[in-house]
A and B are shown apart, each in its own frame.
Chain A
Amino acid sequence: MSTELNAPAARVTTPSGDWYPDAIDLAAVKAAHIPLYTQRTEITSDGNQAAAVAGLQMWRCLIYAGFPITPSTKWAEFSAATINGQKGSRKRVKLMEAEHAVADYMAAASAACRDLIFTTATSSVGLDHMYETIKSMGASGLGNAMLVNVYRCSANYPLCIEGDPSDTLGQRDCGWIQISCRGKQQIYDTVLQMPCVGMHPDVLTPTMPGFYGIKDSHRNARLICEPDSAIHEFQDRWIKPCPLPGLINGDTAMGNCVTSRYFQGFKVTQKRRFEKTLDVLPQVGADFERTFGRPGVSYFELAGWPESGAVDLAVVSMGPDFGTFEELRQEYAKTHGLKVAGMCIRLLSPFPREAVREKLRHARAVLVVNQAHHQTRGHLALDVADALCNLPSPPTIASTFCGMGGADVSEATWEAMLDSGRRALAGQTLPPYQIFHEGAAL
């Protein structure tokens, strides 16, 4: 890459450190990109491949650091195989000795080259091993770092390789924008959009798109891939030269020991940038829909909401199992003479509490479906309760757990959970939470 690295002649001193704006010739990087697709192309893909393809189509992605861990391994395998198959490609997959090294590499690289995108994929304890570094990255304004989290339960004993979002939900405070996907197309589309959100000058926060291991990472279906040139045009509309210097000092969390006075101010700006996601993300999503004709990133997906917003039972869930609920929703509502609607949460962090409150305020009862082990009533249930707490007469919340460890969430399980929601509607006092499997309350 030596031809693209010029001598750092232009040095600009800023309060945040020295800046070398001409150090990387972005035009040369873009010119070196070899397109994967020159026209809209339909392929068969699983979730890992969909995420990898999207990353490979971005001209700003040059180096992919990775370490294999089930169920995200195929992301690295596919990326490496594709790059090796592209004659003359300047892209590289860098396999590191462990996940903490991947995170360290990404921190250094994304801080040094803020106009390029650095991405990896990991799961479960892989994400845990990155914990220390990704918390620092979350604070450091590194919106050009993107970690694809293929959900898998966060436990080494007993080992379980299936999809359970406890790994991502255990990292709610790492300072990354976390967005959940379901289905190949949504995974692909989301990976394309998230750098536009994270690298927005008002946001500058790393992004963590995620999807369920096995249930989505290994599930094959039809995928529409856009031409690289259209993707570049879309991303270039949003991604502008980063206003911060490319050094790991000054206004970052790495390297400096500061007083509490500075630290608190630093955290205030981090929190403000993080919350700005709620403004920028819908704009990026709307532009994506205008450009490619498919829904863009959003706070949540909706199923069966009437114009008035008034429903008897609102179901709040996430991930691919929401599709099973969608499949049986109408029949269940008809059988029981109820208006039943669903909300599939996508933006996990920052949680879109205002929008959730507005949507749920006219529901009589809310059934929250948690799919990861968590103390008390579950991550989603607590978020929903927080969103609804200021309403004059908030709907009753029924909290349920299912699908832990990636367990199957059958139609019978959904019906049993919906029955629990009906009991809440009827005014029955339910336990703080219930766990369901195969149609039974455990």
Chain B
Amino acid sequence: MNPLDLRSILRESVLEIRGDGKAGGGLVLAFQSLASLALTDPSLNVQEWPFFSSARRGANIRSYVRISARPIRIACEVTRPKLVLLMDEGAARTADFAQGVPAGGTFVLNTRHTPEVCAKHYGLSGRVVTISGDEIGLKHLKAQIGNVSAYVAMAHAIGGFTPGTVIDTFLSALKKRRIPETVLQRNREALEASLTEVKEGVFDEAKPGTHLVPPFAGYGDLPVGAQTALRLSQDNLTAYYARSGLRLHFSDPEDKCTGCGHCITNCPEGIIHWEPNDKNGLKVTGSDVTDYCKLCAECISVCPENLFSEIPFNVAWKEAEVSS
């Protein structure tokens, strides 16, 4: 497996890049910064734009970048990228982030796992670059935001940019957004830490027939005004909008539930389980977080006994299965 030389591609034709993530996760900023980074080279032309699906936090979104030494006229979506980013593994539940990437392409993942483990899990053939961006974000930015590291990993994958330019370009993008100086400093630390945390390897794990771009199969029969079948998120499970890496947890070992019912009436998804109770009328027994808990935290805020909480959900890949 010979990885494609991304620098040659952008010199001789067009380097097309696609990213998958979730709204609110910083994917757009990472791609805007990558575009600005490429534009620091006056010989390069760049196009960068996002694609939004449902206009809500946590919904799957995509971003695209084209970089070329030639003027870029083409305007359609990128369907056969040479470099892809998976910013949030939760996004891979409903979208195949590797779709259309040719053998030898580059796959950048924000993940705690090694390149080898990722290549096997997602079935990737090419260069696999990983960085534990969420952990770096948590350490330096006090939030599970992986876009700083994902940007650094993409810049590393393309190559040819000095560390100073990589850092300064991202910070300039933040300055344009009038981010306070203390936050800028934390981002600088996260950028510097990311530069040394990138891991990579070359693997050939794709099975024949996987990650192909499917032919357009038409819209099928739609009732008047039907929308659901045309959404990016086809199954409409609201649990997919939850932040990755966390899950709602109910625990009442001391039998403190008073049966007030606030959690039941405030849950917008109706997922709180309860049973009749002689003493209080009802007793909450738990919640079904499988399909519809989007971690809105209503139950957490209304429970007078603090029986609900968010806990880290460590089995990350149960929530990140490749749809293909």
Contact = CB atoms under 8 A, between A and B. Distances in A.
A and B from one assembly? yes
Interface of A: 44, 46, 70, 81, 85, 157-159, 161, 182, 214-215, 218-222, 320-324, 326-327, 408-411, 413, 437-440, 442
Given A46-B49, A221-B46, 19 more contacts: A44-B35, A81-B178, A161-B52, A182-B75, A214-B50, A214-B51, A220-B35, A220-B36, A220-B47, A221-B35, A221-B45, A222-B45, A323-B73, A323-B74, A324-B73, A327-B74, A409-B76, A410-B79, A442-B219
Contacts of A159: 55
B195 interface: no
Nearest to A70: B55
Ranked nearest first, the 4 interchain pairs of A and B with the lowest CB-CB distance are A438-B216, A219-B49, A323-B73, A320-B75
A387 B32 CA distance: 42
Contact of A324 (B36, B46, B76, B216): B76
A324 B55 contact: no
Interface string B164-186: 00000000000000100000000
Contacts of A81: 178
Given A221-B46, A438-B216, A439-B216, A215 B55 contact: no
Contacts of A409: 75-76
Contact of A410 (B36, B39, B77, B178): B77
A215 B50 CA distance: 9
B227 interface: yes
B241 to A, nearest CB: 17
Contacts of B218: 440, 442
B215 interface: yes
Contacts of A410: 76-77, 79
Interface residues on B, range: 20 to 34
Interface string B49-67: 1111001000000000000
B77 to A, nearest CB: 4
Contacts of B49: 46, 214-215, 218-220
A324 to B, nearest CB: 5
Nearest to A85: B178
A161 B51 CA distance: 10
Contacts of A161: 52, 55
B192 interface: no
Given A161-B52, A410-B79, A219 B47 contact: yes
A217 to B, nearest CB: 9
A310 to B, nearest CB: 24
B48 A221 contact: yes
Contact of B225 (A44, A158, A442): A158
Contacts of B79: 410
B216 A220 contact: no
How would you classify the secondary structure of chain A's contact residues: helix, strand, loop or mixed?
loop
Interface of B: 32, 35-36, 39, 45-52, 55, 72-77, 79, 178, 215-216, 218-219, 225, 227
Contacts of A70: 55
Given A44-B36, A70-B55, A439-B216, A222 B75 contact: no
Contacts of A323: 72-75
21 contacts: A44-B36, A70-B55, A157-B225, A159-B55, A215-B49, A219-B47, A220-B32, A220-B36, A220-B46, A220-B47, A222-B45, A320-B75, A321-B75, A323-B72, A323-B74, A324-B73, A324-B74, A327-B74, A411-B74, A413-B76, A440-B216
Nearest to A46: B49
A218 B64 CA distance: 11
Contacts of B216: 437-440
A44 B45 CA distance: 11
With most chain A CB atoms within 10 A of its CB, the pick from B47, B77, B178 is B47
Contacts of A182: 75
A324 B218 CA distance: 22
A222 B39 contact: yes
B73 A158 contact: no
Contacts of B73: 323-324, 326-327
Contacts of B47: 219-221
